[in-house]
Amino acid sequence: MLKYILQRAALALAVALVVSFATFMLLNYATDPASALAGEDATPEIVEQIRQTYGFDRPVFVRYFEWLGGVARGDFGESYYWNKDVAVLVLERAPVTIALALSALMVTIVIAIPLGAIAALRPNSWADRLALTFAVSAQAIPSFWLGLMLIILLGVMLPILPISGDSSWQHFVMPAFVLGASSVPAVMRLTRTGLIEVMESDYIRTARSKGYRGFALLRRHAMRNALLPVVSVLAVQLGQKFGGSVITESVFAINGLGRLALQSILGSDIPTVQMLIFIFALIFVLMNLLADLLNAALDPRIRIT
Amino acid sequence: MHFLKAITLAALLGTAVVNPAMAGKADDTLRVAFVEEILELDYNYTTKREYIIIADLIDENLFEINPETNAFEPAVATGYEYIDPLTIEVKLRDDVTFHNGQKLTARDVAYTYNWIIDPESESHPGPGHATWLKSAEVVDDYTVRFHLLNDYPLAIRDLATRVSIRPENTYHVDGKVVRNAAALEPVGLGPYRVVSFEPGQELVLERYDGYYSNSPKGDVPIDNIVIRTIPDIGTQQAELMSGGIDWMYNVPLDVAQSVEGLPMVEHLSGPDLRVSFVVLDAAGLTDPDGPLTNRQVRQAMNHAVNKADIAQYLVGGSAEPIHTPCHPAQFGCDTSIQDYPYDPEVGRQLLAEAGYPDGFPLDLWAYRDRSIAEAVAADFEKIGIDVNLRYVQLASLDQARANQEIPAYIGTWGSGGTADTALIANIHFNATTDRNLSGDEKLTELVLAAEATSDQDERRRLYTEALTIIADEAYWVPLVTYSVNYLINSELNFPLNADGLPRLYSASWK
């Protein structure tokens, strides 16, 4: 098991390194960071001053390895855009995004698993069809549109929820729903398929013969096995919530990592983009690893050597 | 039934627990939304427009430019006098205090200007001011002398616009240089002082009770201003409709028009000094024998574009077509120069006479206002030019232009809100700038000469001569002036100014 974890950790590091190199090159070659930082009406003198202040006039490879050396020492550099230590900046923004991602995942679980169960209990019934229609619609709706529709309904017409910002838990209700809704279809269908498959197995027939019916049967016997693949998907979905937060955080003016990523990319803030990409890549790989480990813990039949 | 009950209960609960800070008269707080993040508050270290709007609230200049008359009015200075062509003496008022209660003296002013031009400061106005200002000297408590390196006609304008005055030694803490000392809590002289500031999120300002009387900004009517960053314009619109904010600007025309008629919202459209134009590679930097080196081709392109339609339908509001390479409201922008009326037929004839009866392929670069770029490209195609529109990020365009890879691009320029042709002419026609695709040395001489004299009539004459050359040679295809759309709470009065700079301190409740 330890070997497996070490292998996966090494893989995570390799992925993060490749991604960081590609990002650094793209940001430096696709655009001129000095003029991006200076803004639209900046005079050439100001652009040149910024170029020299931040050392953009030096070879890009030299700067990349300097950055990498800093990272190895735990120094992620200073943000050009925010004039702040990148690590501090990210730590300040992370709690909001973690809260948003976890609430979104809760929304997904609370909606998708019961819907999947209802659909599985009565396959091909009207309830199943309705759940499926809901799932397909949720998948088809772009998150920024859903966000704006919710804002109009719950923020402007009713109005019962705050529209933008992140200063109270109420601010997270709409964004968590928007971010969570996009994962509902995948999780719901997987729950449904898993349950239908499990419900046809021998041990369930035995449980039925003992008198278990309906949700008692699901809860006591079927769920644990049916949810194995769902757990893996949820772990990966949590990783995607961090990436998905870019749009949701912008629509709802939430000051988290997603918005920071967007601002940094638009502002060519290389150190911040580097660190965020590094973190997002790491989260993805770690979530995959977590999914495997969770599966192993939930199912004694799965053993990783 | 249960469902209905649940919904009703949820709504009631929601209303009870949610207490969004409602905008409006009630708490005398003007709530403003910007798309841009505000990262720091010291205008001596920032450039973007939003920072000018904020500096206008927190800081004071020696002089203020009257947006209607373009005249310099005394602000914290009572007046100025040229002791000789290279020495300006400025007298200060004796009743001006910083937000910390400290009195403003000549030492603060001299310190600020000497620091700004010191290369060690790395300040943003530094490189510009260092071209004309040698030093600032304290004469007595309320008198400062500015020693100039050369005769510079825009000195008073520069003293009136770009530098925020700070208390002496602001940037020197315990003998060490601290460039960002005023980034988060600037001590200013303006009508509002900073209460709290979270970079990228929210700035809270309140009226400064010690603000000096009879300032050009007048007594500010509103007690509190809260500026928030809301990156999505649709979300801003929803906040405005639900009473969460009172003021938003740079609203796209279609968004602004979509809420016209709602009782809680008012749509204002004001002028902007920003103009757009097509710059043509007349010098042949990308191709020494290319079609754009031919004057008739450039004139043909000037006849090709239907600017009036672009102004009316794509920019809207108070936008106007222009034929000058400057905003007509700017000093020295002579509108009597040659105009090329919209006439694609004449354009086609000129192209044929120039030896391009079947047109030619052209890479047209652009970085903002895609609809305008597409309209211009379509108009060029109507006279036979095969346009390949390259719509890119600003930084990419800047880079390609620096590498002399751009035969033609659609540029825009806001002149930093300053109504003087110098602000657009120098950066586009000085020989040292990569924006200058004319290759015309005479033009550079004229533009520089207009900045080397304080004789305003002479400056006007020099600009007229320069603009005449630009028009006759058709170095540019001037397009339109911009307008700025605002959406505001209908309970708010918000006067608009000719220079297009929104002055939040002039807002008041109806």
- Which tens digit of pLDDT belongs to each residue from B285-310? 999 999 999 999 999 999 999 999 99
Q: Is pLDDT larger for residue B16 or for residue A13?
A: A13
Q: Phi and psi at residue B247, in whole multiples of 5°? A: -150, 130
pLDDT at B507: 95
pLDDT at B15: 40
Q: Is pLDDT larger for residue B332 or for residue B318?
A: B332
pLDDT, tens digit, for every residue of B39-51?
Answer: 889 999 887 788 9
Q: How far is B381 from chain A (nearest CA, A)?
A: 28
Query: Do B229 and A253 make contact, defined as CB atoms within 8 angstroms?
Result: yes
Give the closest residue to A278 by CA, choosing from A7, A67, A102, A2: A67
pLDDT, tens digit, for every residue of A23-49?
Answer: 888 877 777 777 777 766 677 777 777
Residues of A in contact with B230 (CB under 8 A): 164, 253
Cβ(A35)–Cβ(B398) below 8 Å: yes
Q: How far is B122 from chain A (nearest CA, A)?
A: 8
Chain B residue with the nearest C-alpha to that of A262: B231
pLDDT band at B410 (very low <50, low <70, confident <90, very high): very high
Secondary structure of B127-144 in the HEC alphabet?
A: HHHCCCEEEEEEEECCEE
Residues of A in contact with B238 (CB under 8 A): 148, 151-152, 155-156, 163
Chain A residue with the nearest C-alpha to that of B428: A43
Cβ(B273)–Cβ(B499) below 8 Å: yes
Q: How far is A270 from chain B (nearest CA, A)?
A: 14
pLDDT at A198: 84
Q: Is pLDDT larger for residue A118 or for residue B140?
A: B140
Q: How far is B434 from chain A (nearest CA, A)?
A: 9
Q: How far is B214 from chain A (nearest CA, A)?
A: 33
- Give contacts of B 248-307 with A, CB under 8 A: none
pLDDT at B22: 52
pLDDT band at B392 (very low <50, low <70, confident <90, very high): confident
Rounded mean pLDDT, A61-70: 88
pLDDT band at A305 (very low <50, low <70, confident <90, very high): very low
Task: Compare CB distances from B128 to A41, A43, A158 and report the shortest one's residue.
Answer: A43
Cβ(B406)–Cβ(B365) below 8 Å: yes
DSSP states of A175-237: HHHHHHHTTHHHHHHHHHHHHHHHHTSHHHHHHHHTT--HHHHIIIIIHHHHTHHHHHHHHHH
Q: Which amino acid is at B235?
A: T
Query: Do A170 and B17 make contact, defined as CB atoms within 8 angstroms?
Result: yes
Q: Has residue B431 got a pLDDT over 50?
A: yes
Of these ranges, A161-175, B243-257, B338-352, the one predicted with the greatest mean pLDDT is: B338-352
Rounded mean pLDDT, B163-174: 94
Task: Compare CB distances from B39 to A40, A82, A262 and report the shortest one's residue.
Answer: A82
In a domain, A2, yes or no: no
The CATH number given to whatever domain includes residue A127 is 1.10.3720.10
**Cβ pairs bridging A and B (under 8 Å):** 122
In a domain, A246, yes or no: yes
Q: How far is B457 from chain A (nearest CA, A)?
A: 27
Task: Compare CB distances from A31 to B40, B128, B396 and report the shortest one's residue.
Answer: B396
Domain range enclosing A110: 86-298
Give the closest residue to B139 by CA, choosing from B190, B218, B205, B81: B81
Residue A49: strand, helix, or coil = helix
In a domain, A103, yes or no: yes
Q: Has residue B16 got a pLDDT over 70?
A: no
pLDDT, tens digit, for every residue of B47-69?
Answer: 778 898 999 999 999 998 887 77
pLDDT at A285: 78
Of the residues B7, B180, B393, the best mutation for testing chain A's interface (the one with the most A CB atoms within 10 Å of its CB) is B393
Query: Do A40 and B37 make contact, defined as CB atoms within 8 angstroms?
Result: no
In a domain, A214, yes or no: yes
CA gap B434, B286 in Å, rounded: 12
In a domain, A229, yes or no: yes
pLDDT band at B474 (very low <50, low <70, confident <90, very high): very high
Answer whether B229 touches A (CB < 8 Å): yes
CA gap A171, A246 in Å, rounded: 16
Give me the interface pTM, i.e. the ipTM: 0.73
pLDDT at A1: 67
Chain B residue with the nearest C-alpha to that of A260: B200
Task: Compare CB distances from A253 to B14, B18, B231 and report the shortest one's residue.
Answer: B231
Q: Work out the mean pLDDT of chain B and round it to a whole number.
A: 89
Residues of B in contact with A81 (CB under 8 A): 39
Query: Do A31 and B393 make contact, defined as CB atoms within 8 angstroms?
Result: yes
List the beta bridge partners of residue B438.
none
Q: Which amino acid is at A224?
A: R
Rounded mean pLDDT, B197-206: 92
Q: Has residue B216 got a pLDDT over 80?
A: yes
Query: Do A31 and B412 make contact, defined as CB atoms within 8 angstroms?
Result: no
In a domain, A30, yes or no: no
Query: Do A252 and B241 make contact, defined as CB atoms within 8 angstroms?
Result: no
Q: Has residue B3 got a pLDDT over 60?
A: no
Whole-angstrom distance between the N-terminal and C-terminal Cα of chain A?
6
pLDDT at B11: 41
Q: Has residue B23 got a pLDDT over 60?
A: no
In a domain, A45, yes or no: no
Rounded mean pLDDT, B193-207: 94
Q: Has residue A218 got a pLDDT over 60?
A: yes
In a domain, A48, yes or no: no
How many domains does one find in chain A?
A: 1
pLDDT at B4: 34
pLDDT band at B360 (very low <50, low <70, confident <90, very high): very high
Task: Compare CB distances from A160 to B11, B228, B416 and report the shortest one's residue.
Answer: B11
CA gap A271, A83 in Å, rounded: 11
Task: Compare CB distances from B14 to A40, A81, A161 and report the shortest one's residue.
Answer: A161
Q: Has residue A219 got a pLDDT over 60?
A: yes
Residue B374: strand, helix, or coil = helix
Residues of B in contact with A47 (CB under 8 A): 398
CA gap A27, A15 in Å, rounded: 18
Range with lowest mean pLDDT among A188-192, B100-104, B371-375: A188-192
> Structure tokens of B184?
């988060």
